[in-house]
Amino acid sequence: MSLPAEKEVRTLLARFAEARFRHDLQPTGRSSRELEDTSSALCAMTGTRTVHEALAAADALLDRLRANRRAAAERPRALAA
């Protein structure tokens, strides 16, 4: 399975947080749909079934992406001749 880009994960987490905040502040049909849509997208992106699992998986995914980026930066580069 290929990993989503870090920017995509962060963007979706921000959209979820915004939808959650809006819905908690003033629940409407629209805020409910936005929250449901972002929750579903998070679950699909992380391969999970619940929002709680998706948030934990997204955090783990960001840790993994960060580690991959760090490892790539530390890898010696061969000089082209």
SS3 at position 48: coil
- Residue 54 near residue 42, CB atoms below 8 Å: yes
- The reported pLDDT for the residue numbered 79 is 60
pTM exceeds 0.75 for this model:
yes
Q: One digit per residue, pLDDT tens: the chain, 81 residues?
A: 577 889 999 999 999 999 999 999 999 999 999 999 999 999 999 999 999 999 999 999 999 989 988 888 887 766 665
Domain ranges of the chain: 6-79
Helix, strand or coil, per DSSP, at residue 54: helix
**Number of neighbours of residue 41 by Cβ within 10 angstroms:** 15
Q: How far apart are CA 34 and CA 18, in angstroms?
A: 9
DSSP 8-state code for residue 26: S
